[in-house]
Amino acid sequence: MDRRRKTLPVIKTDADIERMVEEHNLILPGANGQSPVSPSSSRTTSTRTASSTNQLSQSPPDDSSLVRPSPSKPVRPKETTASLLLPPAVPGRWIRLAEEEKPVFQRHSVGLTEIPGVVRTLKPPTYNPERQLETRLVIIMVGLPARGKSYIVKKLRRYLNWLQYETKVFNVGNTRRTQKASPSDQSAKFFDPDNNEMKKIRDDIAMDVLEHLIEWLKKGKQSRVAIHDATNSTISRRQLLIERLSNEPKIKILLLESICTDQTVLERNFRLKLLGPDYKNIDPVQALEDFRSRVANYERAYEPLGDWEEERDLEYCKLINVGKKVVAYNISGYLSGQCVFYLMNFNLSDRQIFVTRHGQSTDNLDDRIGGDASLTPLGRRFGKALERFISQQRKSFAMSMARRKQEQLEDAYGFDKLDLLDPSHDGEAREELLNKTAEALSSSQFTVWTSMLKRSMETAASFSPEDYDIKHIRYLNEINSGGRECMTYEEIQRLYPQEFKARQENKLYYRYPGMGGESYIDVIHRLQPLIIELERMTQSCLIITHRVVLRIILGYLLDWSREEMPHMLVPIHTVYEYRPKPYGSELKKWRYVEEKDTFEEF
């Protein structure tokens, strides 16, 4: 039975490699850079079974396939012809480099992918810089309409880009709406699965988008992950996409299906669709009716991920009801693993995320960077005012949540029913109920995170552990400026002008010299577990941190580009309030007004 190893690959011995070469009839680059020789050149590589020709068997990330035969599950006869046209399988970590009769292979990079300044893969002597060593990942979305696919891909794109894996979404719906060749009538009829002509048009659009996606992945120097955002809800459609991708030896595939069985969420999603570009200027009742028939059309032909993908050893993940249940099959690539882990951890809870820098420190007065200074009297006043502000915000948020709960109840049962249940449910009683609910909600968990530096912990000094879950976290410490700790920018510029210039020119990647010195990229990677935690938790929170960390956290939440993020203005005594919403987010900014000792929105 084909069991894919889930641990890091073990380097093979020469004997293993020789055996593999013999078994798979490979040609390896000559060790001294001379032209490669084939140990068994009389054999041909083009007679593999159809099941071994899928993309995974071409470039699996996992060395276990070096010595095991490709999966040999039975293949349905109707697919054999198309699948046999695919390029021959290349086992293990070898990439096919040339199309000649005797193909040449180059070592293929596995596991952790290249991150400038953080992960560097040593290139073999035969490495051709023209060719990318790293595999690219294509995520094929799957799911009926209104299952939150576009929401998921936006989130995933934001996260991967934040981690510096350049990611782009290719949305098929947008092309369908704008492409000249598309029919003007795109009502439910256009999505009828029995109408072959329309089906062909839809498939062609999806394939067209796939071509753009492949071009972006191959041409973009930084391109890493491309997401094909469409329903792709039938096997025949997925087969088209996968067969085309199988011609690209360094592209891996992850299929990602979103399933929603929660009727309330579905109804809300349906209504949100009416605000989208397909139903602009259309009467909402008519639009809703049309959208329902479109969904019904898709449902008729829907084939969820399953046996077909498993028979082909593909990687897939099913997200059921916003990650309540996750099914992951055959996930073995590094980037796929990162995606699945991220998607397993997010939720749609309504909550407040406040982020701020510490109060003014004595080092801030002198413009000194780094260090571990204490707060000034003004900084301490800010800390006290912050506690009052958060406590008020927490209460008013709880009140609005309670009001919403009450409205939902009233919507569900109607006033009459409520009155029936309890004759005293007049206006006053309802208000009392509301207050009680708000009180209960506001005393529910609220987390405060600080760094382990004095200025950050002192800012949180007024928060009581009775009322708040307070954590001091080292990950939130400010960037370590190594040998330049406690200096001013003016001193650095005067004493180390080259370094100063280098940092100005590339702040993101510049790493401070000396013990422990970090770059923005280093800080991003140490913050990764906290971002996952932020996505995972459902309660509100306040994060008290430092300039670089704040920029990086806001960069993630607000999708700032890597160019702008290190330069964003984030002054002290400013609080950012971020509210995740099922479709987007909301941001408020509050400034501490010294004279009034209070906060004002701006």
- Which residues belong to the active site? 229, 260, 478, 546
User: How many Å apart are CA 460 and CA 463, to the nearest integer?
Assistant: 6
Residue 479 as a binder of ligand F6P (CB under 6 A): the answer is yes
Shorter beta-carbon distance to ligand F6P: residue 255 or 548: 548
User: How many Å apart are CA 160 and CA 531, to the nearest integer?
Assistant: 12
Given the structure tokens 């982020």, which residue do they identify? 355
CA distances to 257, 279, 280, 534, 584 from 276, in Å: 22, 6, 7, 29, 14
Residue 476 as a binder of ligand F6P (CB under 6 A): the answer is no
CB of 563 to ligand F6P, least distance (A): 14
Within a 10 A sphere around the Cβ of 185, how many other Cβ atoms?
9
Helices (H) then strands (E): counts for the chain: 19, 15
- Member of 62, 257, 315, 478 binding ligand F6P (CB under 6 A): 478
Contact 225, 160 (CB under 8 A): yes
Among residues 303, 315, 278, the alpha carbon closest in space to that of 55 is found at 315
- Member of 56, 156, 369, 565 binding ligand F6P (CB under 6 A): 369
CB of 509 to ligand F6P, least distance (A): 12
Residue 524 as a binder of ligand F6P (CB under 6 A): the answer is no
Nearest-5° Cα angle at 581, 388 to 434: 55
Q: Are strands 598-601 and 584-593 parallel, antiparallel or unpaired?
A: antiparallel
Shorter beta-carbon distance to ligand F6P: residue 199 or 546: 546
**CA contacts within 13 A on the Cβ side of 192:** 10
Residue 156 as a binder of ligand F6P (CB under 6 A): the answer is no
Residue 477 as a binder of ligand F6P (CB under 6 A): the answer is no
CB of 363 to ligand F6P, least distance (A): 7
Q: What is the layout of strands, in order, in the sheet containing 598-601?
A: 469-472, 446-450, 540-545, 353-357, 574-581, 584-593, 598-601
Residues 131-150 that bind ligand F6P (CB under 6 A): none
Residue 481 as a binder of ligand F6P (CB under 6 A): the answer is yes
CB of 454 to ligand F6P, least distance (A): 13
CB of 480 to ligand F6P, least distance (A): 9
Shorter beta-carbon distance to ligand F6P: residue 291 or 520: 520
Site string for ligand F6P, 529-568 (x = CB under 6 A): -----------------xxx-----------------x--
Q: Which stretch binds ligand F6P (CB under 6 A): 54-62, 205-213, 288-296, 478-486?
A: 478-486
Shorter beta-carbon distance to ligand F6P: residue 377 or 571: 571
Shorter beta-carbon distance to ligand F6P: residue 61 or 555: 555
Residue 333 as a binder of ligand F6P (CB under 6 A): the answer is no
Shorter beta-carbon distance to ligand F6P: residue 225 or 369: 369
Residue 518 as a binder of ligand F6P (CB under 6 A): the answer is no
Contact 210, 244 (CB under 8 A): yes
Q: What are phi and psi of 109, to 5 degrees?
A: -80, 135
Residue 53 as a binder of ligand F6P (CB under 6 A): the answer is no
Residue 51 parent element (H or E)? none
Within a 10 A sphere around the Cβ of 451, how many other Cβ atoms?
23
Among residues 276, 350, 327, the alpha carbon closest in space to that of 577 is found at 350
- Which residues, 6 or more positions from 569, have their beta carbon under 8 angstroms from its beta carbon? none
Residue 224 as a binder of ligand F6P (CB under 6 A): the answer is no
CB of 546 to ligand F6P, least distance (A): 4
Q: Which stretch binds ligand F6P (CB under 6 A): 29-37, 477-485, 535-543, 577-585?
A: 477-485
Shorter beta-carbon distance to ligand F6P: residue 29 or 517: 517
CB of 80 to ligand F6P, least distance (A): 58
Write the burial class of residue 466 (CB in 10 Å: 0-12 exposed, 13-18 middle, 19+ buried): exposed
- Member of 370, 379, 383, 517 binding ligand F6P (CB under 6 A): 370
Residue 91 as a binder of ligand F6P (CB under 6 A): the answer is no
Task: Kindly determine how many residues on this chain lie close enough to bind ligand F6P according to the rule CB under 6 A.
Answer: 9
Handedness of CA 563, 569, 571, 576 (dihedral sign): negative
Residues that bind ligand F6P (CB under 6 A): 369-370, 478-479, 481, 546-548, 566
